[in-house]
Structure 1
Amino acid sequence: MPDPGSFRQRPYDLVKEFTIALVAAALLTVGLAAVFSSPNEKPVTLARWARAAPHDFTATSVAELGGTSGTAEYGPPYTTTAGAEQKIGPVSLQRAAGVTIPINTARDFVLRPLTDAPEPPAVSAGLAAWRTAPIPRQRQWAAAYADALDKAPGGDPSQVPPGDYGPVPVLTARLLELAKTGALDGELLATGQFYQTDYTKPLLFLGDGSYLEDQARARHLAGDQWGMMNETGNYPGQPWLWLYTLWYQVEPFSSSGNADALVWGLMALLTLGFVLVPFIPGVRSIPRWTRVYRLVWRDYYRSRGTGRQP
C-alpha cells in the first residue's frame, strides 16, 4: 500500500471555499430573482375588492341576493339549477356527481354574514323583511334594484332613484361596510373548523363580479391573452396549466357551452393515451426508430465506440 505521504500535497482552505461559494450563489440568486422573478402581487380579497370597486361589489351582492349570479346559476356541484349541467354527448358528469358543495348565494354570501355581524336596527329590520317575504317578491326586489343600478351613473347606489327595492339597498350597503373592514373575508371562511383553509366561497363571490377578471386582464392573464404568472411559494405554479387552458382558445371548445366538460374529457383521453404509450404498438417503438436515446446518452455511446445498443 503506497505511503500517503508520498503523494503530492497542497493546502486547501475549506472554509474559504465554502464562503466564496455561498456568497457567489447568494448574489447570483438575488440578481436572477430581481431580473426574472414573477411579480409578488398582493392577494385579491373581498376587502380589497370592496375598497377598489365598491359599485361592482354592490351590483354583485344584488345578483347573489336575487339568485342571478354565475355561481347561483352554475348548477352542480354548487346548486341544483335545472338545465345548467354541462355534458359530454348525452352524459352529464355534473348531474352524476350531484351537488357536493351546496351553496345558496343569498344565504351564504349575504344574509348569514349580516346576521353573524353586529346589526344596526335598520339592518335587523331589513333581514326580517327579507326572510318573511315570498321568494318571488325577494327576486322582484333584487331585479328592480339591479336594473336601477345599471341605469345609475357609474352604477353608483347613491344615484339610484327611489323605488320598490324592499330591504335590498340596506342589506347590500351594510355588506359593503363589512367587506371594507375585512370582516366578510373571515365570515365566508368560517366553517366551524379550527383551521380555515377552504377558500371556495370567497373565490366564488369574487368570480361573480368583474373586479377579479379586470385584475387578470390587466396582467395579461385572461383566457384570450395567453399570459402566464408563476405562483409565489408554490411549485410548479401555473405553467403546467398551459396544455389544459390551450383548448379553451380553439374551436369547438371556445364557443361551446359545454367547454368545461369537453376539455376535461379531452384531457382525460390524452392522459390515458400518455399512460398507455408503452403498450401501443408503433408508438412505443418511436424512440427506437428515431434513436434519440443515442443523442441523449452520446457520451456513453462515444465511450463504447460506434457499436449498436446491446
Structure 2
Amino acid sequence: MRRSGTPEAADFPTRPYDLIKEFTIVLVVVALLSAGLAALFSSPDEKPITLAVWSTADPADFTATAVAELAGTSTSAGYGPPYNYTPGAGQKIGPVGLQRAAGVRIPVDPAEDFVLRPLRQSPEPAEVTAALTTWSTASADQRQSWSSAYADALDKAPDGDPAKVAPGDYGPVPTLTAGLLALAQSGALDGQLLAQGRFYQTDYTRPMLFLSNGSYLSDQATAQHLTGSQWGMMNETGNYPGQAWLWLYTFWYQIDPFKTSKNADAEVWAIMAVLSLALVLVPFIPGLRSVPRWTRVYRLIWRDYYRGEPRPSRSTRGPGKAAG
C-alpha cells in the first residue's frame, strides 16, 4: 500500500546509463587535453651540462679552469667552509661567520680532486705519468710559479687557445691540462668525479664545483635568463615562467645593499627567516592580529551569512566585553 506523499519508483522517468562509456570518453578527452597543453606550454627539456659537454664545447675555458685549480686560484679553492679552510672566507651576518661555524663538512682539494687524482687513476700516456711525477716532486712555490705563468700565457693567447700559447717555463702544467681535457672529452672524468671511491654515484658536489669554476656554465645560465640579476630563481630555462612564489626571496638580490654585498646569501636568508617567523607568529602579535577584526573584511567574504545578522554594537565588539 502506498503512503500519501511518497511516490513510487515508477512515478519517475528512467533511462539507461553506460558508466563505462562515460568514463572512457572523459579519460580520452582529459588525456588529449593534457598532452596538447603540455606540448604547447611546458618548459623546454634542456640537455644536462656535463664535463664532457663543457670540455667539447669550450676546451679553452676548460683548460683555463684546470690551470686555476692547479694554481689554487679558482672560486672553489678559496670558497672556505664547508669545502676547505680559507682564512677570512665565508659569508657573515654582522660579526657572526655562519660558514666558519658550520666547519668543513665536505673536504674538497680542487687540484687533487679535479685534476691530479683523475689523471693518476686513468691509463694515461707516458708523458702524462712523467708530468705527474714532476709535479709531485716539485716544491709548492715551483708549482705556483708554473701554474701562474701558464695562466697568464693562456690569457694572452688568441681565444685562449692552448695551442697558441707562447713558449715559456710552464713545467708539466700544459701536459697535465691536455691530459685532463682528453679525459673529460671522453666522458670518463664525469664518472670519476662522481665515484670518488664510492659505489653509489649520487654526490654531484665535485662535478658541480668544477663546472661552476669556469665561465661556460654561467654563460649558459645568462643565456637562459637564470642568473640572480635576471630574477633567475623565478624562471625556468628560456623565457618561461617558473616559481613565481619565490619573488619575495629573489627580490632582495635586486636592491641595495644586497645586490653588491659579499654576504648577500646570508643576509637575505636572515631577512626571510625573520619574515617567516613573523608570519607564523601573526596570531600572537598584539595589534597585528586584530587587523581582520578592525577592517571587517571577513563580513565581506561571508556576506551571505552576515546579511541577515544585526551589526554588533560598539560595546560588544571587543573580546571579553559584556553587552551593555
Settle same-fold status: TM greater than 0.5: yes
Alpha-carbon offset, residue 251 of structure 1: 0.6
Q: Are 1:78 and 2:78 counterparts?
A: no
Offset of 1:191 from its aligned partner? 3.7
Question: Is residue 17 of structure 2 the alignment partner of residue 12 of structure 1?
Answer: yes
Match of 2:235 in 1: 229
| Equivalent of 1:88 in 85, 93, 98 | 93
Cα distance 1:12–1:71, how it changes in 2: closer, same or farther (>3 A)?
Answer: same
The whole-number CA distance in structure 1 between the counterparts of 2:58 and 2:81 is 29
CA distance in 2, matches of 1:4, 1:196: 68
Q: Deviation digits for residues 209-245 of structure 1, max 9, x if unmatched?
A: 11111111111112222354348xxxxx754543322
Question: 5+ residue gaps in structure 1?
Answer: 232-236
After TM superposition, the score normalised by the length of structure 1 is 0.90
| Partner of residue 249, structure 1 | 254
After superposition, what is the alpha-carbon deviation per residue over 1:163-212, rounded to whole angstroms, capped at 9, x for unaligned? Answer: 11111111111111111111111111114443321111111111111111
Between the two proteins, what is the percent identity of the paired residues?
A: 65
Partner residue of 2:165?
160
Match of 1:162, SS? coil
Return the match for 1:128 from 121, 127, 133: 133
In 2: Cα distance, 1:77 partner to 1:251 partner: 27
How much has 1:6 moved relative to structure 2? 4.3
Aligned to 2:3: none
Deviations 1:264-292 (A, max 9, x none): 22122122212212211122222333344
User: How far is 1:86 from its partner?
Assistant: 1.8
Aligned length: 302
Question: What amino acid is aligned across from residue 195 of structure 1 in structure 2?
Answer: Y
Task: Return the letter of the residue paired with 1:184.
Answer: L
Using the alignment, how far apart are the partners of 2:79 and 2:106 within structure 1? 12
Structure 2 Cα separation of the partners of residues 68 and 160 of structure 1: 20
Following TM superposition, by how much is the alpha carbon of 1:4 offset from its aligned partner in structure 2, in angstroms?
4.2
Task: Report what 2:110 is aligned to.
Answer: 105
Match of 2:223, as an amino acid? A
Report SS of the residue matched to 2:48. coil
Cα displacement string for residues 78-107 of structure 1 (whole angstroms, at most 9, x for unaligned residues): 111111122111111111111111110000
Secondary structure of the 2:62 match is helix
Correspondence 1:147 to 2:148: no
1:303 Cα deviation (Å)?
5.6
Contact preservation (8 Å) 2:194, 2:203: yes
Superposition map of 1:145-224 within 5 A: 145-224=150-229
Aligned to 1:52: 57
Which entry has the higher C-alpha Rg, 1 or 2? 2
Could you tell me which runs of 5 or more consecutive residues in structure 2 were left unpaired when the two chains were aligned.
1-5, 313-324
Q: CA distance change for structure 1 residues 150 and 15 in 2, over 3 Å: closer, same or farther?
A: same
Name the Cα RMSD after superposition.
2.1
- Secondary structure of 1:111's counterpart equals helix
Q: For 1:309 and 1:69, how far apart are their aligned partners in 2?
A: 70
Q: CA 1:268/1:303 → structure 2, altered by over 3 Å: closer, same or farther?
A: closer
Aligned partners of 1:121 and 1:309: how far apart in 2? 93
* Secondary structure class of the residue paired with 1:224: helix
CA distance in 2, matches of 1:34, 1:187: 37
Separation of aligned partners in 1, 2:64 and 2:243 = 31
Amino acid at match of 1:277: V
CA distance in 2, matches of 1:293, 1:197: 50
- 1:302 pairs with 292, 298, 304, which one? 304
* Structure 1 match to 2:322: none
Task: Determine the C-alpha separation between the residues in 2 that align with 1:193 and 1:5.
Answer: 75
- Which range moves more in the overlay, 155-164 or 287-296? 287-296
Structure 1 pair 291/42, CA: closer, same or farther in 2 (3 Å)?
farther
More moved, 259-268 vs 203-212: 259-268
Give the aligned residue type for 1:145.
Y
Which letter maps to 2:79? Answer: Y
Q: Secondary structure at 1:254's aligned position in 2? A: helix
